[in-house]
Amino acid sequence: MIELMPASGVFSLIWVLIALPLLGAGVLLLGGRRTNSWGPYLGVLTVVGSAVLAVFMLLAMMGQPANERSIGQTVFSWVFAGNLEVDMAFQLDQLSMVFVLLITIVGSLIHIYSIGYMSHDADKRKFFGYLNLFVAAMLLLVLANNYLLLYVGWEGVGLASYLLIGFWQIKPTAAAAAKKAFIINRVGDVGLSLAIMVMFATFGSVSFSDVFGQASAASEGTLTAIGLLLLLAACGKSAQFPLQAWLLDAMEGPTPVSALIHAATMVTAGVYLIVRSNAIFDRAVWAAAAVVLVGLITIFMGAIIGSAKDDIKKSLAGSTMSQIGYMIFAAGLGPIGYVFAIFHLLTHGVFKAGLFLGAGSVMHGMKDNVNMRRYGALRGLMIITFVTFMAGYLAIMGIPPFAGFWSKDEIIHAAFERSWVIGAAAILGAGITGFYMTRMVVMTFFGKARWEDDVHPHESPAVMTIPLVILAIGSTFLGMALLFWGNIETWLEPVVGFASGPTPLSSIALIAITLVVVLIGAFIGWRQYGAKPVPIEAPRGNWLTRAARRDLYGDDVNEVVIVKPSFALARWLNWFDSSWIDGVVGGVAAFVGGAAGRLRRTQSGFARSYALSMLGGAVLIAAALVLVRLS
């Protein structure tokens, strides 16, 4: 177990990382319309400020020896009662550091991009306020030093996601999608809550250092339970099977949101949670196996859905599901996979953000039409978007030397070290990636123009394309940079451990096989959509296509299994409440009322009948007295 170093120097400002965007959110959300003109710039500034601070922290951290890179900072005692003692405390170590950099830097780029993208929106200050809130919550999530505080960040990003998906809530679909995302995430939160409770009941603490330090003393059953509950939480936040249904609908939000929250950062929080809890998963074999299984299922679900959608954002969302499936999958492999899960997370964060922003740039030029069947031949009209999108395209397919190649290849490698079956499955997934990404690129940038007459495609302004260029550069070089210059394995090793084992195939052969499969997938994609014209009306397609268009019946299953029965139960209980529980109450009242109504008839108004009843009463009492006396 690594001792946390007291925060000194630049590290004493860890709380500022969170406070800056939080301040921005506060000013923007409370300031109202006054902030309309300068608000967006303030929003950008706070995040850039955090990014600069994070870079300084990285430099300071690199100057420390490897075992002194975990820094802790306790601000105050937060929740305490009995033997519960949870601090408002932060932990900045190598793992948090890379997340902080990803969040703040990609966050900054997306903030800048949004200035252009949201320039015509009347509520843009609100938009930037929510984005700032998101960044603050996400930073809290990765900087917390205990699970309860992590939960605050966890739910905070969920809230920001809810608010931003429903940003255009005048559209009923957006409002419904936001609600759906929040409620499905809440199911995951039950997992996280229960995991925290089991931890507390077992270890008497919820801080990372206590839980991980004592993990070896707990029984495997307990650890498996914690692991499975954490997996449930991760499934909710990272849109993994069986809680995947919300992510596709979440594309109702503005595109920068999809890029930042639903591609680069928030949805990867599940991966962070699992990797952070490596001490638990290392000792819970079955939980780890479940993680691998969930990851694998989602790789294919996401890829299949991504292959069938005509909506460019939904297709990318399917791809995100699938890629996060890879990360979860890698995280389930144990110490040989953790590092690569994070590695893929970082490269994916950059290239997928690039792809989403590219899609946003296309939409910006196409009057917000998202239907790829209405695109085509845009490569000449949006040159910067096209080139940067291609960088992301090559990166996600894993073509060397682009970023995705290094990270995905390592995951496939690690999978083979475990078993050739899951390794082969991972390669197959990569092949489908080749198919749907080629399909997307071909439908969007190649072929014949299919847009309507009143659409005039044009390149986006510089404030949007500059972030695209930066992300494209990242998509190209980040993999190499992290692997060769950043030594990501050794960097993360103190936190997550690292191991490598024998491989059944040599690395070169594996790389070759993967590339061939990916290229076959890409070729099929080109043959289907590039070699022949794309119909504007989608053909009916085979059963798999139809199922994929309906998100593989995810919504239908939820509807039948959960939503309908819940509302039926609610209606029944409502009836039960008014007719039975309140009915009993009303019945008693009616009985008393009725009896009283009958009794009062004796008040006839005839004085002599009253006198008779008085006499009768007096006689009765006298008789009773006499009888008692006699007996």
Of residues 21-50, those binding another protein (CB under 8 A)? 29, 32
Q: Which of 138, 107, 115 is nearest to 39 (CA)?
A: 115
From residue 385, how far is each of 114, 337, 354, 365 by CA, in Å? 15, 34, 10, 10
State in angstroms the smallest separation of the CB of 547 from another protein: 27
- Residue 471 engages another protein in binding (rule: CB under 8 A): no
Closest by CA to 423, choosing from 441, 435, 411, is 411
Q: One symbol per residue from 184 to 223: x for binding another protein (CB under 8 A), - otherwise; what is it?
A: --xx-xx--xx-xxx-xxxxxx--------x--xxx-xxx
Is 169 a binding residue for another protein by CB under 8 A? The answer is: yes
Is 333 within 8 Å of 418 (Cβ atoms)? yes
Q: Would you give the binding string for another protein spanning residues 428-447, x where CB under 8 A is met?
A: --------------------
Instruction: Specify whether the CB–CB gap between 207 and 86 falls below 8 A.
Output: yes
In the complex with another protein, the residue whose CB is nearer, 217 or 628, is 217
Cβ proximity to another protein: between 65 and 172 the closer is 172
DSSP 3-state of 356:
helix
Q: Is 1 in the site for another protein (CB under 8 A)?
A: no
Dihedral sign, CA of 538, 369, 355, 547?
Answer: negative
Q: How far is the CB of 277 from another protein (least distance, A)?
A: 16
Closest CA to 355 of 412, 433, 274: 433
Residue 220 or 556 with smaller CB distance to another protein: 220
98-127 binders of another protein (CB under 8 A): 123, 126
Residue 48 or 184 with smaller CB distance to another protein: 184
Binding letters toward another protein, positions 146-165, x by CB under 8 A: --x--xx-xxx--x--x---
State the minimum distance, in angstroms, from the CB of residue 74 to another protein. 14
Residue 269 C-beta: closest distance to another protein, Å? 14
Q: Are the C-beta atoms of residues 260 and 131 closer than 8 Å to each other?
A: yes
In angstroms, give the least distance from the CB of 247 to another protein.
18
Please choose, out of 5-13, 144-152, 358-366, 462-470, the segment that lies near another protein by the rule CB under 8 A.
144-152
Query: Which position among 589, 622, 624, 626 is part of the footprint of another protein (CB under 8 A)?
Result: 589
* Binding residues with another protein: total (CB under 8 A): 80
Which residues within the stretch 549-568 sit at the binding site for another protein (CB under 8 A)?
566-567
Closer residue to another protein, CB minimum distance, 86 or 247: 86
User: Which CB atom, from 200 or from 405, has the smaller least distance to another protein?
Assistant: 200
CB 627 to another protein: min, Å: 19
- CA atoms of 235 and 271, how far apart (whole Å): 9
Shortest CB 218 distance to another protein, Å: 5
Q: What is the DSSP letter of 3?
A: P
Yes or no: say if 323 and 348 are a contact pair by the CB < 8 Å rule. Answer: yes
3-state SS, residue 69? coil
Q: CA angle at residue 173 from 172 to 175, to 5 degrees?
A: 65
Q: Is 620 in the site for another protein (CB under 8 A)?
A: no
| Binding positions for another protein, 494-523, rule CB under 8 A | none
Q: Give the residue among 496, 495, 497, 514 at the shortest CA–CA distance from 505.
A: 514
Binding of another protein by 570 (CB under 8 A): yes
| Cα–Cα dist 279/616, whole Å | 89
Q: Which of 16, 462, 560, 569 binds another protein (CB under 8 A)?
A: 569
Shortest gap between Cβ of 165 and another protein (angstroms)? Answer: 11
Near another protein by CB under 8 A: residue from 15, 117, 147, 182: 182
Query: Of the candidates 12, 419, 542, 604, which one interacts with another protein according to CB under 8 A?
Result: 604
SS (H, E, C) 258-302: HHHHHHHCHHHHHHHHHHHCHHHHCCCHHHHHHHHHHHHHHHHHH
Q: Least distance (Å) from another protein to the CB of residue 174?
A: 8
Q: Select 147 or 338, whichever has its Cβ closest to another protein.
A: 147
Q: Which is nearer to another protein, 531 or 585 (CB)?
A: 585
Nearer to another protein, 196 or 432 (CB): 196
102, 515, 118: which is closest to 347 by C-alpha? 102
Closest to 288 measured CA to CA, from 220, 187, 188: 220
For residue 188, the minimal CB distance to another protein (Å) is: 10
Residues shown for the chain = 631
* DSSP at 242: T
Select 452 or 577, whichever has its Cβ closest to another protein.
577
Rounded to whole angstroms, the Cα distance separating 27 from 130 reads: 11
Structure tokens at 555: 């919504």
Answer for which of 557, 585, 590, 623 binds another protein (CB under 8 A) is 585
What is the residue type of 548?
A: A
Q: CA–CA separation, 41 vs 38, rounded Å? A: 6
How many H-runs (helices) and E-runs (strands) does the chain carry? 26, 3
Q: How far is the CB of 495 from another protein (least distance, A)?
A: 23
Nearest distance from residue 605's CB to another protein, in Å? 3
From the CB of 121, what's the least distance to another protein, in Å? Answer: 13
Q: What is the dihedral of CA 443, 404, 256, 28, to 10 degrees?
A: 180
Residues between 76 and 95 that touch another protein (CB under 8 A): 76-84, 88
* SS3 assignment, position 78: strand
Using CA atoms in the order 525, 526, 531, 532, what is the torsion angle rounded to 10 degrees? 30
Closest CA to 273 of 197, 189, 350, 210: 189
485 binds another protein (CB under 8 A): no
One-letter amino acid for residue 277 of the chain = S
User: Which C-beta is closer to another protein: that of 44 or that of 86?
Assistant: 86
